[in-house]
């Protein structure tokens, strides 16, 4: 132990090594409540060289490493050590915004950079980054993008990894590689001027390196910076509600907007989901749940660089026409909730406590990818499972987020529970596993197979499993990176 | 080599006697002449890719799998191609089994709502587009045109084109794929395995699609792709294109919501500014610097000829002599084409107004001569269908792109003029077509829509004329030298030299290693080597998959 | 010309494969997107124009030898010219159709021939027709018709029936109607009857250039003797031979297809249709009337280069790309018949799909020929038409055979048959 500690101190300095780190509250929100292993140390590298040295050291000593970039709470257990004698690699200290390039709409950031840190800086340059729905204020932008967390604006998602572009990766073997066009990392200002910039995500060459670290939960390597594609910031924004009592009634309307790429933010929430977003306290949520429409499409329109108002007005009218065509209404207010208020909320990270935890202090989430037309079927399945497990259906927050310009849809069920209540927790765990299995059998695509989902998914996909193992053996031959999380 | 009888028989048992041939004449129709077209090496006079050992026409993924397993059993290299357009689709090693994928040409699924199609290798851009339009959708078509296989461009090569800007390039649009790996095992990526539906290509977990293609694909040297899903996008036009006009001056008159413009600018800076503003504003459906491929001096005259069925190439000099043609040629020096498509009447009105404002801010203008109905409607059809790729070869049957500046708009714009002037001095020597130096063409857009571009300086020559071919080679060598001096790197004229040499065969290993070691990140090729060892242990592909062994 | 004269084209063909598809701009569906029957059926590259360029180069450079496969590659070409049209959407310096024909000539010269073709040549030489029928019976179709018999009698216009219309009992009526119609319009028309000979067009498309030249010569002589200035025919093959292939050999007679003649009569107000023909029809453009039916333009020039390497010709070379074929006359006739509703197939005019009877394929590769016809019938049926109308007896015969073999349930008419019904 002491020897290892000394070795780590030699790499990051004494201040960078924490003994017996408390796996604090936030880590215990692991959604499968799997028993974690106490990590031995937590190290805080300050730069890529230190990261490389830590990984090389881990290979020499065969020590498991668990990279963490975001602050808690960690709902999904990806940062929870599950192997003995692990070392947490805390990247939250690497939080420099290395560059914001307005012309090429790129931000070059380190893994510790959070949405709340990045967004105001981008705004100064006339840019913004599309975000997931209410990320935690301390959520690492890179971690979120690597997790393929869906963003609220599907129209900007040209592929499922957007807006992630080039990366600097330290692989599990300690080797450093620039993916995409990261080799042009604009170390000199003149390179930025000349356009020698890290703006491609793919490649380089014939492998798509950044795909190996995406949704890998730190099991392939550690990303030490990333370039992120930004959108133009515009003061002119409008948000609308399109409510309906039945989800089915919103599907074709949403498809139409997706097809025409009308709307910037575009997603669907059920009354409970919207209440979780809007309500500041459990009481507020409770009363909102009861008054909000059963289902609401939330659609935002953003002006652009030129003729912003004209654009907004044209789109507002077009969306209005589309809504009418489907016998729906485009509204700025529903049941005392003004869309401007919601817009305010959506433009920032989640207030504290984290929105999914506000109602009962704890929450489980089941999420997967599917297509929008299939979501009503999954909602039925989820409700059936809830009733079977005596979980109150009215507590299930549902968030449907079209992704990749509408080819797919992220479907998320938020299941709040009181962690202190052992009985409730236990019931919820049963619901969680059974519902996930039913949904999976029904064709839900668990594209980010956290925890127990991994077995379920990979057992059904031997081809991918085999390919992944080959890739893992190349980039992390000693399996030191976050073992036990996926299929290795 | 002819295959030993029993081996031939084993292959024949898989595909049937009518779908296999080793007749020398048949095999010679599956060789590529290195004297012409975009091969990104050479050109080399009277040089061909090696003759295959046999050509097979598989009819299903199962047959492909069986063929690949036999190749492993008998240690025979294999290479599949769908349309056999590019040199990359041809073997660079002797005695390779060639797979012609054209029989697998079904569109397996066209999901109107979720906007994607599932296709086999033989589906080309034009057939997919024609079917997609029937349900209000469109497909990206790469710069190589609608005659090329959708799957091949999407899985195995670059896949960039005019609709990058709105439709997304193939890199972005490729969803799941089915891959008969070099060992004969089948890998399907993404959602299809656990859901039966192809809507997502990534994952589960880390995306193994990353093994199949990166920025560039494996160019047929790592197994065979047998299916893929492609994201489509909105087509707010008629179900079939109402084409009119006398061949070859076909044209299409589309609703008011479709506009084709040729924009021109006083400087490259203004040109790039406009491209950025278009991107930032979020307008445009297709954008390409297209007709400049004929050359800065010839482009308008060529447009005049192509839009007039009574004219031929032989009228070029006469057309060029017309002062009006000269005026427009001058006016459109630094130009590009853009097509605006409104999803609604309001949408087009807004886009049109925004475009005018962009021109206002950049001092740009619309080339009005390109807006007369017979040209406008021809441009519209040209760019939407992209069915005139063979015009790349119109002059004499040989062309390749030089430089291939790829990246941020400013990167290309900063060097375009220099590259153009450099070519101009070479044009005077006579080996290549004298077109005005600037024959730069390429998309305004790339990964993620706008923001990047590609400048490929078209160089046309006569593949039947040794002096022309050799003069072109000299020019390309000079381009590479210039690119290295200027820090632009090796231009696209030599991109494939690392895989194939002047004899049409694999570049010697020492030479390949030298090139890979001088790359900015040699480790990329080392990882590719490891991937090759893991996924293609018997090394049954060719050097188009670029590898470097550990020291 | 000889095959080696195409060596430059073999190098300048860009292997783009446009020659395997209808012009992309015209593509309306996946199903009917192909244009070249031979590569659509046999699939190997070598069965397309690009592949035939490659095979020709391989033979020319002695990299391969004649074989059964090579013979099949060459003789399965319909010489339909679809490749030529598609190639020339972009290219001005390639002549794929001429090349595939030249390849056939070279094989025939090298005696790389097919038995079925040889038999047909024997019939031609002996009986002056390619249907193995006695020449004495050639004029039998006109027995009882009051029509002048050249050269003993005189007439202003010669109606040339051609082999198929002369002998095919199902189709002879087309020739009869043609003559009757002409006569009823007051046209001074005559026939050669048993003195009529094969035009040679079909053996030309099989690669028998010498035989073609011989018969062209004979025909021109007969015409000269009979003082023929205008020839009218209802056969697209004959039309093409007379219109395009004879002039370079010295013919100066005016050549008209019946559809052109009838259209002219309608335009002049001389012909009016009185009877309703309630029928939805679709029209098949015969290759030799449509894309290959462009008028001959004399040219004797050489290749030259401008702008360094642009290949053009001195003087400017006429361009045959299907732009000016005979497409509208048959359609205008059909549209002017009361009750007829003309619906178009996807592949029409210059990018029409071949009937499958061309290039000696009907005779030597019956299965492939029937498949090609069936493809067209499927396309015709997809329009909802009850009848497939054409203006060439060879196309009609091939369609009729395919329909009777497959029971496809579609009627086949010559334009003339509908005209007759409408009178
Ligand atoms: S013959 Fe014409 S269309 Fe066919 S491959 Fe050659 S150039 Fe292309
Ligand atoms: S003439 Fe017809 S059959 Fe022959 S190659 Fe051309 S398209 Fe094919």
ipTM: 0.97
Instruction: Provide the domain count of chain A.
Output: 4
Size of interface B-C (CB pairs under 8 A): 228
Nearest chain C residue to B20, by CA: C44
Distance, CA of B115 to CA of B226 (rounded, Å): 20
At residue B550, the pLDDT reads: 85
Which of C86, C97, C353 has the most ligand 2 atoms within 8 A of CB, as the residue to mutate? C97
Give yes or no for residue C1 CB within 6 A of ligand 1. no
Q: Show the CA angle centred on residue B415, arms to residues B409 and B419, nearest 5°.
A: 130
Segment B374-416, tens digit of pLDDT: 999 999 999 999 999 999 999 999 999 999 888 899 988 999 9
At residue A26, the pLDDT reads: 44
A23 pLDDT tier (thresholds 50, 70, 90): low
Domain assignment of residue A486, yes or no: no
Q: B214–A162: do the CB atoms touch at under 8 Å?
A: no
Please state, for a pLDDT cut of 70, what percent of chain B lies above it: 100
Of C44, C309, C323, the CB nearest to B309: C323
Segment B405-459, tens digit of pLDDT: 888 999 889 999 999 999 999 999 999 999 999 999 999 999 999 999 999 999 9
B vs C contact (3+ beta-carbon pairs below 8 A): yes
Nearest atom in ligand 2 to C79's CA? 1
Give yes or no for residue C11 CB within 6 A of ligand 1. no
Q: Residue A70 sits in a domain of what CATH number?
A: 3.30.43.10
Domain residues for B78? 5-100
Q: Would you say residue C323 has pLDDT above 70? A: yes
Say whether both A41 and A113 belong to one domain: no
List Cα–Cα distances, B110 to A26, A311, A444, B196, B228, in angstroms. 45, 32, 20, 14, 12
The answer to whether the CB of C321 falls within 8 A of the CB of C84 is yes
Domain assignment of residue A481, yes or no: no
Which of A285, A316, A344 finishes a domain?
Answer: A344
Say whether both B383 and B414 belong to one domain: no
Per residue, the 3-state secondary structure of B325-343, as one string, reads HHHHHHHCCCEEEEEEECC
Mean pLDDT of A284-290: 95
The answer to whether the CB of B469 falls within 8 A of the CB of B461 is yes
Distance, CA of B455 to CA of B442 (rounded, Å): 5
Nearest chain B residue to A147, by CA: B205
Say whether both B174 and B150 belong to one domain: yes
Instruction: Provide the domain count of chain B.
Output: 4
Nearest to B406 by CA among B339, B451, B458, B460: B451
Q: HSE on the CB side for C112, CA within 13 Å?
A: 18
- The string of DSSP letters for B371-382 reads GSHHHHHHHHHH
Of B390, B394, B432, the CB nearest to C18: B390
Segment A180-213, tens digit of pLDDT: 999 988 788 888 888 889 999 999 999 999 999 9
Q: Give B243 to chain C, closest Cα distance, Å.
A: 7
Backbone angles phi and psi of B502, in degrees to 5? -70, -10
Distance, CA of A221 to CA of A240 (rounded, Å): 41
Nearest atom in ligand 1 to B393's CA? 7
Task: Spell out the residues 6+ positions from residue C183 whose beta carbon is closer than 8 angstroms to its own.
Answer: C146, C147, C189
B116 pLDDT tier (thresholds 50, 70, 90): very high
Mean pLDDT of A19-24: 67
At residue A32, the pLDDT reads: 44
Mean pLDDT of A341-355: 94
Give yes or no for residue C94 CB within 6 A of ligand 1. yes
Q: Give C23 to chain B, closest Cα distance, Å.
A: 8
Whats the size of chain B, residue-wise? 551
Which of C75, C81, C288, C321 has the most ligand 2 atoms within 8 A of CB, as the residue to mutate? C81
Nearest to C204 by CA among C288, C281, C274: C288
Task: Spell out the residues 6+ positions from residue C339 whose beta carbon is closer than 8 angstroms to its own.
Answer: C276, C277, C278, C279, C422
At residue A77, the pLDDT reads: 63
B34 Cα distance to chain centroid: 18
- Residue with CA nearest ligand 2 atom 6: C83
Q: Which residues of B are less than 8 Å from A128 in CB distance?
A: none
Q: Give A2 to chain B, closest Cα distance, Å.
A: 35
Say whether both A7 and A53 belong to one domain: yes
Q: Would you say residue A80 has pLDDT above 80? A: no
Domain assignment of residue A357, yes or no: no
Distance, CA of B354 to CA of B360 (rounded, Å): 10
Say whether both B414 and B307 belong to one domain: no
Q: Is A15 exposed, middle or buried (0-12, 13-18, 19+ CB in 10 A)?
A: exposed
Mean pLDDT of A30-47: 74
Chains that touch C (3 or more CB pairs under 8 A): B
Per residue, the 3-state secondary structure of B208-222, as one string, reads CHHHHECCCECCCCC
Q: B202–A261: do the CB atoms touch at under 8 Å?
A: no
Nearest ligand by distance to the CA of C36:
2
At residue B65, the pLDDT reads: 98
Strands B440-446 and B286-289, how do they pair?
antiparallel
Say whether both A265 and A369 belong to one domain: no
B314 vs A: CB within 8 A: no
Helix (H, G, I), strand (E, B) or coil at C98: helix
Q: Which residues of B are less than 8 Å from C306 in CB distance?
A: 316-317
Say whether both B363 and B459 belong to one domain: no
Segment C77-100, tens digit of pLDDT: 999 999 999 999 999 999 999 999
Mean pLDDT of B258-269: 97
Give yes or no for residue C193 CB within 6 A of ligand 1. no
Q: Give B360 to chain C, closest Cα distance, Å.
A: 34
Segment C12-25, tens digit of pLDDT: 999 999 999 999 99
Q: Which residues of A are less than 8 Å from B530 in CB distance?
A: 474
Q: Is B438 exposed, middle or buried (0-12, 13-18, 19+ CB in 10 A)?
A: buried
B307 vs C: CB within 8 A: no
Q: B397–C94: do the CB atoms touch at under 8 Å?
A: yes
Give yes or no for residue C297 CB within 6 A of ligand 1. no
Write down the number of H helices and E strands in chain C.
18, 11
Q: A205–B524: do the CB atoms touch at under 8 Å?
A: yes
A421 or B539, higher pLDDT: B539
> What tokens does C212 get?
């073609």
Q: Would you say residue C175 has pLDDT above 80? A: yes
Nearest to A363 by CA among A449, A309, A432: A432
- Residue with CA nearest ligand 1 atom 6: C13
B312 vs C: CB within 8 A: yes
Give yes or no for residue C17 CB within 6 A of ligand 1. yes
Q: Would you say residue B102 has pLDDT above 60? A: yes
Lowest mean pLDDT among A451-460, B148-157, C10-19, C281-290: A451-460
> What tokens does A242 get?
């399109």
Q: A211–B231: do the CB atoms touch at under 8 Å?
A: no
Domain assignment of residue B404, yes or no: yes
> What tokens does A222 get?
């550690």
Domain assignment of residue B549, yes or no: no
The answer to whether the CB of A163 falls within 8 A of the CB of A199 is no
List Cα–Cα distances, C143 to A415, C137, C226, in angstroms. 94, 10, 20
Mean pLDDT of B8-16: 98
Q: Would you say residue A74 has pLDDT above 90? A: no
pTM of the model: 0.97
CATH class of C118-267: alpha beta
Q: A178–B521: do the CB atoms touch at under 8 Å?
A: yes
Say whether both A114 and A221 belong to one domain: yes
Give me the residues paired with residue B55 across strands. B21, B98
B508 vs C: CB within 8 A: no
Segment C358-402, tens digit of pLDDT: 999 999 999 999 999 999 999 999 999 999 999 999 999 999 999
Domain assignment of residue A251, yes or no: yes
Segment C223-260, tens digit of pLDDT: 999 999 999 999 999 999 999 999 999 999 999 999 99
Task: Spell out the residues 6+ positions from residue A381 whose beta carbon is closer than 8 angstroms to its own.
Answer: A435, A438, A439, A442
Domain assignment of residue A458, yes or no: no
Nearest to A255 by CA among B115, B347, B199, B140: B115
Chain B interface, best mutation among C16, C59, C74, by max B CB count within 10 A? C16
Distance, CA of C67 to CA of C58 (rounded, Å): 13
Mean pLDDT of A123-136: 96
Mean pLDDT of A456-469: 93
C8 pLDDT tier (thresholds 50, 70, 90): very high
Q: If residue A294 lies in a helix (H) or strand (E), which one and from where to where? A: none
At residue A29, the pLDDT reads: 42
Domain assignment of residue A353, yes or no: no
At residue A30, the pLDDT reads: 42
Q: Is the peptide bond before B140 cis (omega within 30 degrees of 0)?
A: no
Give me the residues paired with residue C312 across strands. C304
Segment A463-475, tens digit of pLDDT: 999 999 999 999 9
Q: Would you say residue A33 has pLDDT above 80? A: no
Q: Residue A189 sits in a domain of what CATH number?
A: 3.30.465.10
Lowest mean pLDDT among A216-225, A399-408, B36-45, B538-547: B36-45
Which of B80, B100, B120 finishes a domain?
Answer: B100
B534 vs A: CB within 8 A: yes
> What tokens does A168 get?
């600097």
Query: Which residues, numbered 320 to 379 in chain B, qualify as contacts with chain C under a Cβ-Cβ cut-off of 8 Å?
Result: none
The answer to whether the CB of B233 falls within 8 A of the CB of A407 is no
Q: Torsion angle of alpha carbons C386, C388, C389, C392, nearest 10°?
A: -160
Domain assignment of residue A241, yes or no: yes
Distance, CA of A323 to CA of A330 (rounded, Å): 6
Size of interface A-B (CB pairs under 8 A): 310
Say whether both A275 and A326 belong to one domain: yes
Segment B173-231, tens digit of pLDDT: 999 999 999 999 999 999 999 899 999 999 999 999 999 999 989 999 999 999 999 99
Q: Would you say residue C66 has pLDDT above 50? A: yes
Of B128, B313, B393, the CB nearest to C14: B393
Give yes or no for residue C13 CB within 6 A of ligand 1. yes
At residue A39, the pLDDT reads: 84
Give yes or no for residue C149 CB within 6 A of ligand 1. no
Q: Which residues of B are less than 8 Å from C11 in CB distance?
A: 33, 35-36, 397, 463-464
Q: A406–B186: do the CB atoms touch at under 8 Å?
A: no
What value does the mean pLDDT of chain C take? 97
> What tokens does B14 get?
């898989």
Distance, CA of B41 to CA of A142 (rounded, Å): 39
List Cα–Cα distances, B368 to B65, B260, B328, B450, C274, in angstroms. 55, 11, 9, 25, 51
Segment B14-60, tens digit of pLDDT: 999 999 999 999 999 999 999 987 889 999 999 999 999 999 999 99
Distance, CA of A44 to CA of A128 (rounded, Å): 29
- List helix spans (H) across A112-184: 115-124, 141-146
Domain residues for A370? 362-442
Chains that touch A (3 or more CB pairs under 8 A): B
Q: Would you say residue A24 has pLDDT above 60? A: no
């Amino acid at each position: 132990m002491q020897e290892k500690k000394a070795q780590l101190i030699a790499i990051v300095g004494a201040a960078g090594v924490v003994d017996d780190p408390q796996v604090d509250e936030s880590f215990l929100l692991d959604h499968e409540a799997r028993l974690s292993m106490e990590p031995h140390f937590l190290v805080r590298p300050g730069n890529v060289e230190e990261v490389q040295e830590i990984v090389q050291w881990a290979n020499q000593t065969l020590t498991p490493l668990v990279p963490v970039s975001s602050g808690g709470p960690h709902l999904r257990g990806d940062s929870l050590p599950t192997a003995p004698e692990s070392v947490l690699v805390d990247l939250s200290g690497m939080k420099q915004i290395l560059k914001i390039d307005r012309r090429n709409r790129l931000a070059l950031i380190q893994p510790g950079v959070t949405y709340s840190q990045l967004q105001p800086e981008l705004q100064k340059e006339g840019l913004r980054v599309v975000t997931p729905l209410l990320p935690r204020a301390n959520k690492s932008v890179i971690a979120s993008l690597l997790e393929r967390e869906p963003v609220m604006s599907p129209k900007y998602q040209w592929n499922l990894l957007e807006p992630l572009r080039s990366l600097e990766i330290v692989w599990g073997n300690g080797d450093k590689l620039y993916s995409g066009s990261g080799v042009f990392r604009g170390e000199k200002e003149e390179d930025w001027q000349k356009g020698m910039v890290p703006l491609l995500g793919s490649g380089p060459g014939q492998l798509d390196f950044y795909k190996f670290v995406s949704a890998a939960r730190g099991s392939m390597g550690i990303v030490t910076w990333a370039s992120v594609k930004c959108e133009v910031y515009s003061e002119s924004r409008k948000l609308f509600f399109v409510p309906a009592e039945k989800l089915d009634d919103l599907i074709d309307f949403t498809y139409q907007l997706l097809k025409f790429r009308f709307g910037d933010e575009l997603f669907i929430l059920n009354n409970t989901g919207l209440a979780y977003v809007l309500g500041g306290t459990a009481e507020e949520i409770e009363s909102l749940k009861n008054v909000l429409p059963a289902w609401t499409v939330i659609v935002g329109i953003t002006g652009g660089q030129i003729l912003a108002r004209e654009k907004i007005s044209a789109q507002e009218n077009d969306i209005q026409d589309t809504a009418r065509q489907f016998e729906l209404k485009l509204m700025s207010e529903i049941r005392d909730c003004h869309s401007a208020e919601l817009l305010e909320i959506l433009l920032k990270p989640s207030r504290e406590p984290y929105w999914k935890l506000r109602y009962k202090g704890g929450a489980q989430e089941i999420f997967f990818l599917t297509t929008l037309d299939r979501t009503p079927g999954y909602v039925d399945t989820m409700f059936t499972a809830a009733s079977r497990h005596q979980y109150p259906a009215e507590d299930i927050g549902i968030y449907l987020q079209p992704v990749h310009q509408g080819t797919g849809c992220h479907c998320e069920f938020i299941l709040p529970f009181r962690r202190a209540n052992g009985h409730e927790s236990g019931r919820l765990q049963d619901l969680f596993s059974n519902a996930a299995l039913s949904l999976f059998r029904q064709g839900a695509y668990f594209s980010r197979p956290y925890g127990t989902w991994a077995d379920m998914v990979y057992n059904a996909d031997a081809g991918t499993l085999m390919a992944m193992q080959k890739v893992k053996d190349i980039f992390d031959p000693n399996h030191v990176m976050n073992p036990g999380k996926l299929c290795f | 080599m002819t295959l030993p009888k029993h081996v031939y028989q084993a292959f024949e048992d898989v595909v049937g006697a009518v779908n296999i041939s080793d007749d020398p004449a048949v095999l010679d129709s599956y060789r590529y002449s290195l004297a012409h077209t975009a091969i990104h090496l050479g050109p080399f006079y009277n040089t061909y890719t090696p003759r295959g050992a046999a050509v097979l026409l598989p009819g299903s993924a199962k047959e492909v799998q069986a063929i690949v397993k036999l190749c492993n059993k008998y240690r025979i290299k294999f290479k599949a191609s769908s349309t056999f357009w590019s040199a990359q689709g041809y073997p660079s090693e002797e005695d390779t089994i060639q797979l012609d994928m054209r029989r697998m040409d079904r569109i397996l699924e066209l999901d109107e709502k979720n906007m994607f199609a599932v296709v086999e290798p033989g589906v080309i851009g034009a057939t997919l587009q024609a079917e997609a339009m029937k349900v209000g959708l469109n497909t990206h078509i790469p710069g190589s045109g609608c005659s090329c296989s959708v799957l091949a461009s999407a899985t195995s090569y670059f896949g960039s084109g005019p609709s990058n800007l709105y439709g997304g390039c193939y890199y972005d649009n490729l969803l799941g794929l089915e891959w008969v790996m070099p060992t004969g095992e089948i890998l399907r990526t993404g959602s299809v395995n656990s859901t039966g539906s192809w809507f997502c290509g990534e994952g589960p977990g880390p995306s193994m699609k990353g093994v199949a293609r990166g920025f560039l694909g494996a160019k047929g040297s790592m197994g065979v792709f047998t299916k893929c899903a492609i994201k489509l996008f909105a087509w707010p036009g008629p179900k079939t294109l109402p084409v009119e006009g006398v061949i070859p001056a076909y044209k299409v008159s589309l609703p008011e919501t479709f506009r084709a413009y040729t924009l021109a600018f006083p400087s490259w800076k203004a040109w790039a500014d406009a491209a950025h503003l278009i991107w930032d504003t979020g307008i445009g459906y297709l954008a390409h610097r297209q007709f400049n491929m004929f050359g800065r001096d010839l482009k308008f005259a060529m447009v005049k000829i192509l839009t007039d069925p009574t004219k031929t190439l032989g009228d070029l000099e006469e057309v060029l002599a017309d002062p009006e043609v000269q005026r427009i040629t001058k006016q459109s020096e630094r130009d590009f084409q853009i097509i605006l498509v409104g999803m609604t009447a309001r949408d087009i009105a807004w886009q049109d107004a925004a475009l005018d404002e962009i021109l206002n801010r950049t001092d740009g203008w619309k080339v009005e001569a390109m807006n007369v109905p017979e040209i406008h409607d021809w441009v519209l059809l040209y760019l939407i269908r992209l069915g005139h790729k063979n015009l790349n070869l119109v002059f004499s049957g040989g062309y390749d792109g030089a430089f291939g500046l790829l990246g941020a708009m400013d990167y290309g714009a900063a060097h375009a003029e220099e590259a153009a002037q450099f070519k101009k001095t070479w044009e005077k020597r006579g080996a290549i077509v004298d077109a005005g130096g600037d024959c730069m063409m390429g998309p305004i857009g790339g990964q993620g829509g706008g923001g990047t571009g590609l400048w490929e300086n078209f160089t046309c020559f006569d593949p039947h004329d040794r002096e022309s071919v050799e003069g072109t080679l000299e020019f390309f060598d000079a381009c590479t030298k210039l690119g290295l001096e200027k820090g632009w790197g090796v231009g696209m004229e030599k991109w494939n030299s690392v895989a194939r040499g002047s004899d049409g065969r694999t570049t010697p290993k020492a030479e390949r290693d030298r090139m890979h070691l001088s790359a900015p990140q040699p480790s990329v090729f080392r990882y590719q080597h490891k991937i090759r060892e893991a996924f293609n242990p018997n090394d049954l592909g060719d050097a188009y998959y670029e590898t470097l062994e550990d020291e | 010309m000889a095959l080696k004269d195409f060596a430059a084209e073999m190098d300048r063909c860009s292997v783009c494969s446009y020659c395997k598809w209808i012009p992309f701009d015209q593509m309306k569906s996946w199903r009917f997107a192909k244009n070249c029957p031979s590569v659509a059926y046999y699939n190997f590259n070598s069965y397309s124009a690009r592949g035939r360029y490659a095979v020709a180069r391989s033979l020319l450079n002695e990299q391969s030898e004649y074989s059964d496969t090579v013979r099949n590659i060459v003789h399965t070409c319909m010489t339909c010219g679809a490749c030529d049209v598609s190639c020339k959407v972009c290219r001005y310096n390639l002549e794929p159709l001429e090349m595939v024909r030249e390849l056939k000539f070279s094989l025939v010269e090298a005696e790389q021939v097919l038995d079925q073709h040889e038999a047909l040549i024997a019939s031609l030489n002996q009986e002056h027709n390619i249907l193995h029928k006695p020449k004495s019976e050639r004029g039998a179709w006109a027995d009882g018709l009051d029509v002048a018999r050249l050269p003993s009698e005189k007439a202003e216009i010669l109606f040339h029936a051609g082999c198929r219309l002369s002998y095919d009992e199902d189709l002879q009526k087309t020739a009869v109607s043609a003559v009757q119609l002409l006569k009823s319009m007051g046209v001074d028309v005559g026939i050669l009857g048993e003195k009529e000979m094969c035009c040679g067009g079909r053996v030309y498309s099989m690669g028998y250039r010498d035989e073609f030249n011989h018969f062209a010569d004979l025909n021109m002589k007969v015409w000269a003797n009979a003082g023929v200035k205008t020839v009218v025919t209802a056969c697209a093959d004959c039309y093409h031979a007379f219109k395009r292939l004879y002039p370079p050999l010295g013919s100066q007679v005016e050549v008209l297809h019946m559809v052109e003649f009838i259209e002219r009569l309608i335009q002049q107000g001389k012909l009016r249709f009185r009877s309703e023909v309630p029928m939805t029809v679709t029209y098949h453009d015969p290759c030799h009337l449509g894309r290959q039916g462009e008028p001959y333009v004399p040219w004797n020039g050489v290749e030259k280069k401008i702008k360094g390497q642009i290949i053009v010709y001195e003087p400017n070379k006429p361009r045959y790309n299907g732009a000016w074929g005979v497409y509208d006359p048959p359609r205008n006739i059909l549209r002017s018949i009361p009750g007829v509703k003309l619906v178009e197939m996807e592949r029409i005019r210059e990018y029409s799909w071949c009937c499958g009877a061309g290039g000696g394929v009907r005779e030597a590769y019956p299965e492939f020929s029937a498949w090609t016809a069936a493809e067209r019938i499927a396309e015709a049926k997809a329009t909802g038409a009850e009848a497939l109308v054409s203006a060439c007896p060879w196309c009609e015969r091939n369609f009729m055979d395919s329909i009777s073999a497959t029971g496809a349930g579609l009627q086949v008419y010559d334009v003339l048959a509908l005209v007759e019904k409408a009178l």
